[in-house]
Structure 1
Amino acid sequence: MSLISADNIVKIYQSHSLVGASARKTVLHDISLSIRQGETVALLGRSGCGKSTLARLLVGLERPTSGEVRFRGVPLTKLDRSGMKAFRREVQLIFQDSPGAVNARSSVRAIIGEPLRHLTSLDETRREERIQELLRLVELPPEIADRLPAQVSGGQLQRICIARALAVNPKLIILDEAVSNLDIHLQASALALLTKLQQEGGIAYLFVTHDLRLVQKFAARCLVMDEGQIVEEIKTADLDSMKHPASRLLREAVLPPLPVRAVETN
């Protein structure tokens, strides 16, 4: 059974002008996908193709216009209050904009502890133990817990967001361009950490990105989105054989390795 699936998802936004006219925009067209426990699936597409909208639907932040999102075979619309709370423990989202995803006035301790306060029954002592455990897990020093977001580096803040997502032991983490704002070295470090955590805990990832280079390093299977549709599904090992025009454009957009500089001799 799939861990999470989307069945024939359609999402339409309707806007109204000041003169009363309305406009409908279909952002997602008949999307279906599934993710199994412990696997990493990439959702690859250019900006504006609908992939972030799909991510929000999968975590229950928005509802589809038609179609259903299912978790362990159960439609999200059928979950009662306790069922939805359990779902929010099991499925977490990490955003691209780490500074925008945290309260600038909250300490790192409060940021990581937020899901523990709302989604668990741990008392204050056990919450602190869990926070320290999570900091060790993402390889951050314990004293960072007392700092504010402005007092840590970009790479550290992204690890703090990863720690927050891991706090309640999720089965699926959706990474919405979560490493796109990091430099190449921090990207490699973050992906290595996520891979290690997956090997240790069996977490599944949906890796939402526009960067085929990152897909090659991190995912086993790739879904290509274009104009609100999944236009191709392919194993990462076969990315050189992508056929859809949108897929080929994404492949051609990958920058080649830097050339070796010629050494001038006299």
Structure 2
Amino acid sequence: MTLISARHLGKIYRTHSLVGASARKTVLQDISLTIGEGETVALLGRSGCGKSTLARLLVGLERPTSGEVLFHGKPVSRLDRAETKIFRREVQLVFQDSPSAVNARFTMREIIAEPLRHLTSMSEVEREGRVQELLRLVELPSEIAGRLPAQVSGGQLQRACIARALAVDPKLIILDEAVSNLDIHLQASALALLAQLQRESGVAYLFVTHDLRLVKRFAARCLVMEEGQIVEEIASADFDQVRHPASRLLQGAVLPPLPGVPCKGHPVSAKG
């Protein structure tokens, strides 16, 4: 069953200043996609291709210039108050830049509990219990709950943001380069956790990234973006058979695991 979908989405930005309006900048053009319940879809593309804009449109942080986003088949723009609350609870977004995604004056406890305060009827005691449960889930010590964002590492803050997204048991989590800033060990740990949660709860993921290595480990289906459009769709296991030039560029950008060790299909030149 389709959880969320987009129909012919377009997004145009236009800024204004004292000297008047700037030229229109088209960021997205005619984007259509679907994400089913329990599915993991990767959204691949180079920086600046429109991936993050699309993520914000899907979660409702911005409105499209054209087209529409549908939640369980109903346009998000037509959801009533109760349906909007369900949408906010069931579709969560984890940003790449975790310091900008949190209130610097909030403790880790307050950051993780924020959706619980707004989207559930939990008591303060119940919220505290849930926060502690989430900290354990993302492998953070309980004593971190009272610290401010400036008092924890970048990796710890990003895991707290993942915990915040998990707090209300969403049906879809959009991960906008959410593990890019983590070291290799924490990336592997985070992906293992997300895969385990998917097996246990059936949560779906839209994995926004430019890193093909992560996609092959995590996603079943890939959408490739270039200049605001989806230019190719393919199963992750078949990515070696991509045809579009944008997909081939991403494929060719994958570094070998060790210097001098070629990736599959990409022999290392003998030239120094």
TM-score range, shorter chain: over 0.9
String of CA shifts for 1:73-119, please: whole Å, max 9, x gaps: 11001112221111000000000011221222211111111111111
CA distance in 2, matches of 1:208, 1:191: 13
**What letter is aligned with 2:42?**
A
> 2:12: which partner in 1?
12
Distance 1:203 1:254 in 2: 28
Which range moved further: 101-110 or 38-47?
Answer: 101-110
Quote the residue 1:236 is aligned against: 236
**TM-score, normalising length: structure 1:** 0.94
How many residues in Structure 1 have an aligned counterpart in Structure 2?
Answer: 261
Determine if the alignment matches structure 1 residue 108 to structure 2 residue 108. Answer: yes
Deviation per CA, 1:12-62: give whole Å up to 9, x if none. 112335333541111111000000111110000000000100000000001
Q: Which residue of 2 aligns with 1:178?
A: 178
Kindly, what percent of the aligned residue pairs are identical? 79
1:244 corresponds to which letter in structure 2? H
* DSSP 3-state at the match of 1:128: helix
**Residue type at the aligned position of 1:137:** L
Partner of 2:196: 196
Give the counterpart letter for 1:212 in structure 2. Answer: L
* Counterpart position of 2:45: 45
Pairwise CA distance, 1:151:
2.5
Deviations 1:123-161 (A, max 9, x none): 111111111121222222222212222232222222111
Question: Quick one: which amino acid aligns to residue 166 of structure 2?
Answer: L
Structure 1 counterpart of 2:129: 129
Instruction: Report if the CA contact (8 A) 1:9-1:66 is conserved.
Output: yes
Question: Normalising by the residue count of structure 2, what TM-score does the alignment of the two structures yield?
Answer: 0.92
Q: Secondary structure at the match of 1:3?
A: strand
- 8 Å CA contact 1:16, 1:23 repeated in 2: no
Alignment of 1:14-29 (within 5 A): 14-29=14-29
5+ residue gaps, structure 1, are: 262-266
Cross-structure match for 2:161:
161
Aligned amino acid, residue 139 of structure 2: E
Q: Does the CA contact (< 8 Å) of 1:175 and 1:207 recur in 2? A: yes
Offset of 1:179 from its aligned partner? 0.9
Q: State the distance in 1 between where 2:118 and 2:210 align.
A: 33
Tell me how large the CA RMSD over aligned residues is: 1.5
Number of the residue aligned with 2:91? 91
Give the AA of the match of 2:193.
L
Amino acid at match of 2:239: L
List alignment gaps of at least 5 residues for structure 2.
Answer: 262-272
CA distance in 2, matches of 1:186, 1:138: 10
CA contact (8 A) 1:108 1:148 kept: yes
